[in-house]
Amino acid sequence: MIDEALASLIRALDSTDANERAQSAVRLGELQARTALPKLRALTENKDDIVALAAMYSCWLLSEDRINTTRVIDALASDDESLVQEAINVICQIGHPMVDKLRTALSSAVTNASTVLSALDDLHDPAARAIIEEFHTDDPALLALKREILDDWDDLDDMFA
């Protein structure tokens, strides 16, 4: 019965329905279905961003880092709210391992700096906070965002002190 359920999830990776592909990808990762890795690897390059993000997350769950940080950051900056939420979900589910990826992105992708700062904020990780604190810029909007994020963290620290 379990083998048939896994086989069904693997078949669903070929569905014409993007949501079904994405949900199946995540479930296969959660189930540690290593036999699905070849299909999941291919899906990390899927033209549908939600499918690709789900496949990246699934590969990560299977101990294979296929996270394309640029694609995740682009998804965060999207006008498509469901895509933004999926990107936030992937970042938060992966957690601390995303900190260094976002640090690299922040130092190299100045045009998306506000998106990266917000992603670091979503992690609520002390290492992410340190990156935000160390971030230097002359851009007034980015400085205001940095201050807002750090003030919010300080408020949270005060609440739980």
What pLDDT was estimated at residue 1? 53
Using DSSP's 3-state secondary structure scheme, residue 118 falls into: helix
Low-confidence residues in the chain, pLDDT < 70? 1-2, 109-111, 158-161
What lies within 8 Å, CB to CB, of 111 at 6+ separation is none
Q: Model confidence over 16-34: pLDDT tens digits?
A: 999 999 999 999 999 999 9
Q: What is the pTM (predicted TM-score) of this model?
A: 0.86
What pLDDT was estimated at residue 125? 92
What pLDDT was estimated at residue 159? 67
Maximum CA extent, the chain: 60
What pLDDT was estimated at residue 146? 96
Using DSSP's 3-state secondary structure scheme, residue 157 falls into: helix
DSSP-based helix, strand, coil % in the chain, nearest 5: 75, 0, 25
What lies within 8 Å, CB to CB, of 108 at 6+ separation is none
> What domains are defined for the chain?
1-66 (1.25.10.10), 68-161 (1.25.10)
Q: Say how far apart CA 140 and CA 120 lie, in whole Å.
A: 19
Q: Model confidence over 31-47: pLDDT tens digits?
A: 999 999 999 999 999 99
